[in-house]
Amino acid sequence: TTRTPEFLGLGQTTETMPQSDSAGDVIIGVLDTGVWPESKSFDDTGFGPVPSSWNGTCESGTNFNSSNCNRKLIGARYFAKGYEATLGPIEESKESKSPRDDDGHGTHTATTAAGSFVPGASLLGYAPGTARGMAPRARIAAYKVCWVGGCFSSDILAAMDKAIDDNVNVLSMSLGGGNSDYFRDSVAMGAFSAMEKGILISCSAGNAGPSAYSLSNSAPWITTVGAGTLDRDFPAFVSLGNGKNFSGVSLYRDNSNSMPSALTPFIYAGNASNATSGNLCMMGTLSPQQVKGKIVMCDRGVNARVQKGAVVKAAGGLGMVLANTAANGEELVADAHLLPATSVGQRNSDVIKSYLFSDPNPTATILFEGTKVGVQPSPVVAAFSSRGPNSITADILKPDIVAPGVNILAGWSGAVGPTGLAIDARRVAFNIISGTSMSCPHVSGLAALLKGAHPEWSPAAIRSALMTTAYTAYKNGQKLQDVATGKPSTPFDHGAGHVDPISALNPGLVYDLTVDDYLNFLCALNYSASEISTLAKRSYTCDEKKRYSVRDLNYPSFAVNFEGRTTSTNVAKYTRTVTNVGPAGTYKATVTSDNPSVKITVEPNTLSFGQVNEKKAYTVTFSASGSAPVNANSFGRLEWSDGKHVVGSPIAMSWN
């Protein structure tokens, strides 16, 4: 990626980061659409031998053989038996029955996590710079599980099975499949086994935001990653015939000067179609007679944004203005459209529409401004980023963290153009796309960096370091914003906050977790012996005499659920144990809350550590007096600090 290293404080080069010899021994397994091995991001110059721990291989298949792997891309496998069993044999003329990535998504996520340095990267001149992954010294193993027709759980499980055997250290999974109990969810089950082997599993939270309860991958042994913006934008203005200008974004590159600089006739798609959903610019719905030679305004939704542009182009349109609706609000996602086009937010689109509907001869033009950096405020939580509360286990706060996931430049497949459309004949080495798919590998790579710096840390300790050092306010002290509302975001939107890798390298204290802790958590969920056995691959008997509580899981965040319809005082107690991973010191607790009717006490509120790996426990008690409206939420934060380190935990309180 370009820009995100600087945005995250990693700098242009690795010199700003400690690079121990073990950094090159960290292996990131990426379950996705495969890999385009010719990408310069997989250059292995300067890499030592493949780590001796590596058990994987480079499988051959369509347009792919073992020589496609090297000391950077050390493994590549594909899994299609489940896919073929359901949908029939793979059409090898359309997609490679091999690890080769014909889609681009897998190459994008893999290079985001751990791509090598590539100077002079850009997409059609946009987002220029030196591209690199978050852990440029780490090795990559690609596991292709997603095909044209989707990603099937039998294939995903097979890939996780192999990745565990292959000895990856981090698993990056930018995919999801709804919301079901952990013992029915293949990703959760495979992730449990991976966690047991010391593998950190980073998954995307999903793109179903800003609706509440829209998360996927919410098991506590998974690191669940939401998405935020960068301080980078790609402005492209709409200039109307009435002299007014409206800001938008675009990645269109006008090589042929097809966009006239003069004002051009402008029409609303809904008025250029006989179809009921003509406003959406679906295939075959626009009237060429009405569209030809004009700029067309299309509403966002249903079909792909870039396909709307292709539909306008096919109908003879000269350009497109893509209008956000209430579902997207002011969130602008830039696309490499096939014709001059820009995306505008809902407020601007409403004003533009009123001009279109009131002016007898509306005209417009689009002005492309290229790449702009330093945009503030940033980051803001992306509207599409899935949100809590956690619908499977309300007492575990999810997502865990947010990372860059909007307009991310990273490596791309040579088999497909930047829009992914079949008619897009352009080929690019890098593409700019958005999603929690993009934020997930940022965290995967950062986790690999931490693993390289602290090989002895468990997956839970690495996640804890990333979470407790995440930030929730801008440098000016204002709280992180949510683009969906324009207001401060909450822990249900950003989890612990935005990742800050430099601070995560030296977190001071961590909340560690063992396999037994997770087994006790399953007991607290009242899982049956059979359900635990399905999930954990072992017979584990919950002690009937023991009182298990989800609140006792040593998680670095707090999701407190109160009974809403009661006049008595609600009391919730949480126990936590912190492990010192820094120098000796004394930490003091500070609690902030936006709800004064909830009394929050920490006991003890001072913890002294004399040596590394020393553990200390504390209890947090939340006392809510009186009733509160059902579905009300309040938020707060607990911080432990020794004056040098700040170990922060988000608090979400809900009345159900």
Partner 1 sequence: NTDVSHPKTTPSTYIVHMAKSQMPASFEHHTHWYDSSLKSVSDSAEMLYTYTSAIHGFSTRLTPEQAASLSSQPGVLSVLPELKYELH
Report the catalytic residues: 32, 105, 437
- Contact status: 61 vs partner 1 (CB under 8 A): no
- For the bound state, the minimum distance from the C-beta of residue 257 to partner 1, rounded and expressed in Å, comes to 35
Piece of the chain touching partner 1 by CB under 8 A; list 124-132, 183-191, 312-320, 554-562: 183-191
Does an H or E element contain 311, and which? Answer: helix 305-314
Beta bridge partner(s), residue 228: 381, 404
Give the torsion sign (CA, 476, 478, 483, 486): negative
Piece of the chain touching partner 1 by CB under 8 A; list 120-128, 160-168, 341-349, 454-462: 160-168
Q: Of 156, 311, 448, 578, which one interacts with partner 1 (CB under 8 A)?
A: 156
- Contact status: 53 vs partner 1 (CB under 8 A): no
- For the bound state, the minimum distance from the C-beta of residue 203 to partner 1, rounded and expressed in Å, comes to 9
- Contact status: 33 vs partner 1 (CB under 8 A): yes
- Contact status: 184 vs partner 1 (CB under 8 A): yes
> How far from 649 is each of 75, 226, 496, 578, 646, CA to CA, in Å?
37, 17, 6, 12, 10
- Contact status: 152 vs partner 1 (CB under 8 A): yes
> How far from 611 is each of 578, 585, 589, 614, CA to CA, in Å?
13, 9, 19, 6
- For the bound state, the minimum distance from the C-beta of residue 406 to partner 1, rounded and expressed in Å, comes to 13
Piece of the chain touching partner 1 by CB under 8 A; list 182-190, 316-324, 410-418, 471-479: 182-190
* CA 288 from centroid of its chain's CA atoms: 39
Query: Pattern 401-440, binding to partner 1, x per CB under 8 A?
Result: ----------------------------------xxx--x
Cis preceding linkage at 604, omega within 30: yes
Q: Of 131, 194, 298, 448, which one interacts with partner 1 (CB under 8 A)?
A: 194
| Residues whose CB is less than 8 angstroms from the CB of residue 606 and which lie 6 or more positions away in sequence, other chains included | 586, 587, 588, 589
Neighbours of 53 (CB within 10 A): 11
Piece of the chain touching partner 1 by CB under 8 A; list 64-72, 133-141, 143-151, 314-322: 143-151
Q: Which is nearer to partner 1, 155 or 395 (CB)?
A: 155
End-to-end CA distance of the chain: 42
- Contact status: 105 vs partner 1 (CB under 8 A): yes
User: 24 and 137 in contact (C-beta within 8 Å)?
Assistant: yes
Rg, Å, the chain Cα set: 25
Q: Pseudo-torsion of CA 296, 301, 307, 308, nearest 10°? A: -10
Q: Which is nearer to partner 1, 38 or 531 (CB)?
A: 531
Q: Which two tokens stand for residue 322?
A: 């893509």
Q: Of 58, 134, 160, 401, which one interacts with partner 1 (CB under 8 A)?
A: 160
**What is the rounded CA–CA span in Å between residue 461 and residue 359?**
61
Amino acid at the residue 366 = I
- For the bound state, the minimum distance from the C-beta of residue 335 to partner 1, rounded and expressed in Å, comes to 17
- Contact status: 214 vs partner 1 (CB under 8 A): no
- Contact status: 148 vs partner 1 (CB under 8 A): no
Piece of the chain touching partner 1 by CB under 8 A; list 191-199, 476-484, 544-552, 590-598: 191-199
* CA 438 from centroid of its chain's CA atoms: 5
- Contact status: 190 vs partner 1 (CB under 8 A): yes
User: 49 and 428 in contact (C-beta within 8 Å)?
Assistant: no
- Contact status: 41 vs partner 1 (CB under 8 A): no
Which residue, 76, 63, 1, 70, is CA-closest to 31?
76
Q: Of 207, 464, 554, 633, which one interacts with partner 1 (CB under 8 A)?
A: 207
- Contact status: 158 vs partner 1 (CB under 8 A): yes
Piece of the chain touching partner 1 by CB under 8 A; list 267-275, 506-514, 532-540, 626-634: 532-540
**What is the rounded CA–CA span in Å between residue 192 and residue 539?**
15
For 110-146, give the DSSP string.
Answer: HHHHHPPPEEEEEETTEEEEEE--SSTTSEEEEEE-E
- Contact status: 177 vs partner 1 (CB under 8 A): yes
Q: Which is nearer to partner 1, 32 or 299 (CB)?
A: 32
Binding site for partner 1 (CB under 8 A): 32-33, 79, 81-82, 85-86, 105, 146, 150-154, 156-158, 160-162, 164-165, 174-178, 180, 183-184, 186-187, 189-190, 193-194, 197, 204-207, 216, 435-437, 440, 530, 533-534, 537-539
